[in-house]
Structure 1
Amino acid sequence: MTHNTPLSPRPLHHLAETHRRVLTRAQLRSHGVPPAELDAQCRPGGSWQQVLPGVILLHPGPPTSEERLHAALLYAAREPASTVPSQARAEGPHRPAFPEAMVTGLAALTLHGFASSPSLLTLDRIDVLVPRARRLRSTSGVRVVRTPAMPTPRQVTGLPVAPVPRALADAVRQLSDAETVRRLLTEAVRAGHCEPASVVRALNQAKLLSRPHVVDAVDALLAEGRAIAEDRLYEMVRGYGLPEPVWNVDLRLPGGPHLGGLDAYWPEQAVALELDTRAPRQDEDALWSEYARKREHLERLGITVVHTTPKKLRNAMEQQAAVVRTALMAAGGREPAAYVVVLPRS
């Protein structure tokens, strides 16, 4: 058989395992399928079908969810994914299969395992993230989302998928239902996909915090994140045998000004713990200045301040417990702290 001999669909079955029988026109040509044969196979009643511009499904039935994802990525990728094993070996193990394209939005959240996102079969479009400079149009079945800086994708079922914060921002941009937005944001934190701060940062970068229903959902998100972080803080103190502090208190100088609220305080050792659950919004610098002023004031009074974050409590709880234990043990070698009044946080 010469290079120009037309091929039927049969010899291409060996590609199904890696590409779910979805290929581009260029890939089919590289396998020896001439344009006339390809067009004949894609006519009504033929064995193949064009599901997106330049993307061919090698069977006549409706595409599966996996095939829709592969088709969307093949359409959006800068160059066709390799289909020939020898080519893949020549390209190297670290070359992306779908250059400059990744799944984002609701489809990405579904792939990340969100229970509150719809099934892939019910989505009218697959959102695909590409660099801003790409000249690529949205089409039936695929919405092109542009970004000035591509995030590092996560590999989910072998496909490049946008990280949860970015996928959330792209999904929320298309949603007007407040309850749906709230469920998605809350699940992101409750299920441990990411921290509230990373979600708010992504929403802020996408300029979505001016939408009232998004702001309301963010407030619910921050409350959820705060409650989870406080539970981890209780777990750290009790799980690592630290002395029991007084929880959620305000400090005041006797007859003097309010010094600030604390999440935990050990009066005998004059050690304070503050849980930083600030969200990165437009007023972040002002909030940080307030935190810094409070810390400096307490330390001038001889009170040691331990600063931690929800992320540190989640990923390095033992290390954070060691930091607190060290501060408590060092109390005996310090000058006595100023007397302060400890009150329940209002």
Structure 2
Amino acid sequence: MNHNTPVPPLSSRPVQHHSEVHRRVLTAARLRSHGVSAAEMNEQCRPGGAWQQILPGVYLLHPNAPTSEERLHAVLMYAAREQPTGVPAQPGAHGPHRPMYADAMITGLAALTLHGFSSTPRLPSLDRIDVLVPRMRRLRSTGCARIVRTGALPTPEPVTDLPLAPVPRALADAVAELADADAVRLLLTEAVRGRYCEPASVVRALNDASLLSRPHVVDAVDSLLAEGRAIAESRLYRMVEEYGLPAPVWNVDLRLPGGPHLGGLDAYWPEQAVAVELDTRAPRRHERQDQRQDQRPDRRQDRRQDRRQDENDALWSEYARKREHLERLGITVVHITPKKLRDSMEQQAAVVRTALMAAGDRDPAAYVVVLPR
């Protein structure tokens, strides 16, 4: 066969059932199912040929530089578990053919760019594209594909027909490859300011990836939590105004007359003895079930993580003690997380309103001194 000899038509499935990019990027298995032999693939990929092998077992059916879309699909085709030949890729006989990328999804910087981040590099400038796969898959990083392994795949979020890792997971995989503190801080800040996710979910993902022992990541997380609290406070002010709640006193400390400090509150209604506290604590860490098997134990890192976790556990205990103490004094404490305030502000306003209305049915609260914080 010379280079100009037509390739056997992909007749097993009509060409019109292939979307544009999936006519240009195909796996060896898919080509074989259309009657193209291995010898014919090799012939087409010789120097000066009409095709090229972009990744092991993945072919680009033109000789030009791949587009970003082609690279993304090629990486997924390389990493995904091959579907049985003849099984429809997507439900619906009348839609374009789209492969189901089983057990693989784009993560890291490429996923963040596709999610809409502005602080990440544009796709053409990325030398490698991160793809998340189960740990037991026998794959290696090669070409434009960098394999990232995990014990449990998250549920992918489809964007432009591509399965993407959720933002917190994609952030963790991106941060794992970044040593620049400013770049890490920029990514985490955009995640919160852009309303892609809440700080708690980011901290959880970074913790699961064993990244909270890196000083530049810890510094960025501290900035992230401060950023998240400022945004949550702004939403709390807006909730009170937009839903017509009585004006509280803001950011106060409570004390017993001549007695100990009871704690700080974000909002307090003295007449009704109702308090609101924004719950911006980092998530509690549960014992990880998916420790990376290819990492050597780092006892110093473990000690740093344990120390940080002890501090976080102490904070949780302090929150619980404060709430119990205030409620024993007859003060109703409403805890609101930033996520609930963002996603269901009306519902949170109703919870606060109910607490205020119920104040008349309760025994009077103990007298406390209210001081500015």
1:17 correspondence with 2:20: yes
Q: Is contact 1:155–1:161 with CA below 8 Å preserved after alignment? A: yes
Alignment of 1:49-88 (within 5 A): 49-80=52-83, 88=90
Write the distance in 2 (CA, Å) between the matches of 1:10 and 1:102: 27
| Residue 178 of structure 1: aligned partner | 181
Structure 2 residue 149 is the aligned partner of structure 1 residue 146:
yes
What secondary structure, in the 3-state scheme, does the structure 2 residue paired with 1:79 have? coil
Q: Give, in whole Å, the separation in 2 of the partners of 1:86 and 1:313.
A: 42
Partner SS for 1:254: coil
Distance 1:299 1:38 in 2: 74
Deviation per residue, 1:147-190 (Å, 9 max, x gap): 00100000010111000000000000000011010000000000
2:325 to 288, 291, 297: 297
Aligned counterparts of 2:249 and 2:9: Cα–Cα separation in 1: 72
1:299-331 Cα offsets, whole Å, 9 max, x none, are: 111111111100110111111111111111111
Distance 1:73 1:87, change over 3 A: closer
- Mark the CA change 1:210 to 1:180 in structure 2 (over 3 Å): closer, same or farther: same
State the identity as a percent: 76
Which of 240, 244, 249 is 1:246 aligned to? 249
Which residue in the other structure is 1:269 paired with? 272
Q: Give distance in 1, aligned partners of 2:134 and 2:245.
A: 49
5 Å-filtered alignment, 1:1-346, equals 7-8=7-8, 14=16, 15-17=18-20, 19=22, 21-80=24-83, 88=90, 97-280=100-283, 282-283=309-310, 284-345=312-373
Relative to structure 1, is the Cα distance of residues 287 and 36 closer, same or farther in structure 2, using a 3 angstrom cutoff?
Answer: same
Q: Distance in 2 between matches of 1:269 and 1:154?
A: 44
Question: 2:300 maps to what in 1?
Answer: none
Structure 1 pair 32/90, CA: closer, same or farther in 2 (3 Å)? Answer: farther
- Closer, same or farther in 2 for the Cα pair 1:86/1:56, shift >3 Å? same
Question: Over residues 30-74 of structure 1, what are the superposed CA-to-partner deviations in whole Å (9 max), with x where a residue is unaligned?
Answer: 111111111111111111000111110011100110000000000
Give the distance between the partners of 2:341 and 2:81, measured in 1 at CA. Answer: 40
Q: CA deviation at 1:285?
A: 3.0
After TM superposition, the score normalised by the length of structure 2 is 0.86
TM-score, structure 1 as length reference: 0.93
- Taking the aligned partners of 1:119 and 1:175, their CA distance within structure 2 comes to 16
Aligned Cα RMSD in Å?
Answer: 2.2
Confirm or deny: 8 A CA contact 1:20 1:67 kept in the other structure. Answer: no
Query: SS in structure 2 opposite 1:200?
Result: helix
Change (3 A) 1:221 1:86: closer
- Partners of 1:42 and 1:9 in 2: CA distance: 17
Give the deviation of 1:17 after TM superposition: 2.1
Q: Is the 8 A contact 2:90 2:99 kept in 1?
A: no
1:165/1:202 contact within 8 Å kept:
yes
Q: Distance in 2 between matches of 1:325 and 1:13?
A: 61
SS, match of residue 63 in structure 2: coil
Shifted more, 330-339 versus 129-138: the winner is 330-339
The secondary structure found in structure 2 opposite 1:116 is coil
Looking at structure 2, the residues matched to 37 and 202 of structure 1 have their Cα atoms a distance apart, in angstroms, of 46
Distance 1:9 1:182, change over 3 A: farther
Could you say what secondary structure the match of 1:176 adopts?
A: coil
Partner AA of 1:127 in structure 2: D
Segments of 5+ residues of structure 1 without an aligned counterpart are none
**One-letter code aligned to 2:168:** P
Matched residue SS, 1:78: coil
Q: Residues of 2 paired with 1:81 and 1:232: CA distance? A: 50
Q: How many residues align?
A: 338
Q: What SS is found at the alignment partner of 1:277?
A: coil
CA contact 2:10–2:34 (8 Å) conserved in 1: no
Corresponding residue SS for 2:109: helix
